[in-house]
């Protein structure tokens, strides 16, 4: 009898603990037929992530009581067209990239959350990237991705940073939100490039009703030239359409400067969504060459269910000043244009 009572008490305690904690498996599998044409060579391929980045992830949260919780988030890129994983840059310097298998390169963080906000540690998106992605009708995925990212001279951390310490403001601040981030290159103290990969970023914004707008600033140190980024963007939801725009500027202390902007919109159409964007980016070089690439993109997403969608996207990029940007793996000569098409299916779970 005593053993039965002990067993019941253990089960009850276990049930209470499980009720306060949760772990979720999630992911996206996105398959894309992509075609790109250019003045030098064309390319046809089955690839992935034309609508949303394919991924496999685990996240969990534990209630610590007193309004505090702990959480983790592990998210790996998945190349479902060939079964490989992604790659990562371990210290925010391009020379130290590694991967190919299942690598939690998209995000690998642990957090403490409370009334004070959230403290997040690990590999995460950078504050300077979020305005480019959140205010791009194509979400920086597929052939329609904004040229302010594709042509950017923002360096290895223009999207994500490893070894980061982040702080996020709590919610319920009347629509205001913000974050601060510091990341480390983790080099030895006795080398010339000891500060390479060290950086910090800041983002503040306001989202309330149909309006969402944000400003981001960052600086990353490199011996070859520190990179400063500044961008701002916004969206306004009219109901019949959502208008989006952003401006991005990257400066390298060696004298190079890149500037660009995007204008775009999404339009709901029954079970579908029309997406359109115009984006451009120009690089002012110390050599006097000023390459510029301009993209027009148009796409349609048709939702078969809440989890499954079909999509198609067309884009054309035009080059000037010696630029050679091409789409979907094609190759084009300087000052020539390139066309690209995406057709695919996305399933989320």
Q: What is the mean pLDDT of residues 28-33?
A: 98
State the Cα–Cα distance between residues 142 and 343, nearest whole angstrom.
10
Cβ neighbours of 21 (radius 10 Å): 14
CA-CA-CA-CA torsion sign (85, 90, 94, 95):
negative
Q: Which residue has the tokens 């990029």?
A: 317
Strand locations in the chain (E):
21-37, 43-48, 55-65, 68-79, 84-85, 87-89, 97-99, 107-114, 117-125, 160-168, 176-183, 199-208, 211-220, 227-237, 242-252, 257-269, 272-284, 292-303, 308-320, 338-348
Q: Exposure of 288 by Cβ count < 10 A (0-12 exposed, 13-18 middle, 19+ buried)?
A: exposed
pLDDT value for 9 = 43
Q: Exposure of 285 by Cβ count < 10 A (0-12 exposed, 13-18 middle, 19+ buried)?
A: middle
The helix or strand, by DSSP H or E, that contains position 9, with its residue range, turns out to be helix 2-19
pLDDT tier at 20, thresholds 50, 70, 90: confident
Task: Report whether pLDDT(96) > 80.
Answer: no
36 close to 339: Cβ distance less than 8 angstroms: yes
Q: What is the mean pLDDT of residues 25-46?
A: 98
State the Cα–Cα distance between residues 317 and 326, nearest whole angstrom.
7
**When comparing pLDDT for 7 and 218, which is higher?**
218
Provide the percentage of residues in the chain whose pLDDT is more than 90. 89
pLDDT in tens, 132-191: 999 999 999 999 999 999 999 999 999 999 999 999 999 989 999 999 999 999 999 999
pLDDT tier at 18, thresholds 50, 70, 90: very low
140 close to 128: Cβ distance less than 8 angstroms: no
CA-CA-CA-CA torsion sign (221, 157, 128, 259):
positive
pLDDT value for 287 = 73
Q: DSSP for 73-87? A: EEEEEEETTTTEE-E
202 close to 166: Cβ distance less than 8 angstroms: no
Structure tokens at 133: 């992605």
**Domains located in the chain, CATH noted:** 24-348 (2.40.160.10)
pLDDT in tens, 36-55: 999 999 999 999 999 999 99
State the Cα–Cα distance between residues 106 and 160, nearest whole angstrom.
8
pLDDT value for 19 = 45
pLDDT in tens, 309-342: 999 999 999 999 999 999 999 999 999 999 999 9
pLDDT value for 276 = 98
pLDDT value for 101 = 83
pLDDT value for 286 = 67
DSSP 106: S
The helix or strand, by DSSP H or E, that contains position 148, with its residue range, turns out to be helix 147-150
CA 50 to chain centre: 14
Q: What is the mean pLDDT of residues 223-229?
A: 97
pTM, rounded to two decimals:
0.91
How far separated are the first and last CA of the chain, in Å rounded? 45
pLDDT value for 210 = 98
Structure tokens at 129: 């990237």
pLDDT value for 180 = 98
pLDDT value for 201 = 98
pLDDT tier at 60, thresholds 50, 70, 90: very high
Which residue, 271, 323, 280, is CA-closest to 300? 271
């Amino acid at each position: 009898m005593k053993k039965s009572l002990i067993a019941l008490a253990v089960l009850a305690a276990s049930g209470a603990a499980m009720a306060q904690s949760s772990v979720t498996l999630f992911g996206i599998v996105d398959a894309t037929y992509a075609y790109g044409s250019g003045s030098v060579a064309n390319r046809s391929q089955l690839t992935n992530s034309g609508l949303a980045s394919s991924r496999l992830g685990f996240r969990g949260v534990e209630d610590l009581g007193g309004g505090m919780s702990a959480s983790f988030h592990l998210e790996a890129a998945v190349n479902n067209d060939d079964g490989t994983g992604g790659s990562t840059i371990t210290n925010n310097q391009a020379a130290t990239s590694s991967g190919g298998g299942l690598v939690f390169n998209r995000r690998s963080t642990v957090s403490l959350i409370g009334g004070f906000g959230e403290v997040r540690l690990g590999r995460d998106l950078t504050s300077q990237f979020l305005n480019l992605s959140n205010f791009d009708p194509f979400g920086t995925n597929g052939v329609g991705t904004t040229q302010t990212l594709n042509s950017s001279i923002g360096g290895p951390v223009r999207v994500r940073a490893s070894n980061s310490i982040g702080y996020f403001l709590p919610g319920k601040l009347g629509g205001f939100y913000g974050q601060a981030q510091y990341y480390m290159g983790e080099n030895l103290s006795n080398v010339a490039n000891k500060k390479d990969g060290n950086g910090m970023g800041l983002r503040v914004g306001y989202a309330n009703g149909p309006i969402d707008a944000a400003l981001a600033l960052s600086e990353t140190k490199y011996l070859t030239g520190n990179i400063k980024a500044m961008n701002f963007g916004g969206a306004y939801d009219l109901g019949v359409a959502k208008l989006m725009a952003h401006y991005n500027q990257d400066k390298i202390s060696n004298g190079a400067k890149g500037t660009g902007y995007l204008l775009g919109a999404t339009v709901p159409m029954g079970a579908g969504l029309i997406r359109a964007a115009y984006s451009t980016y120009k690089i002012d070089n110390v050599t006097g060459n000023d390459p510029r690439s301009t993209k027009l993109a148009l796409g349609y997403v048709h939702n078969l269910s809440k989890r499954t969608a079909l999509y198609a996207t067309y884009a054309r990029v035009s080059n000037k000043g010696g630029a050679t940007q091409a789409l979907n793996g094609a190759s084009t000569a300087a000052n020539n244009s390139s066309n690209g098409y995406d057709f695919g299916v996305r399933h989320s779970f």
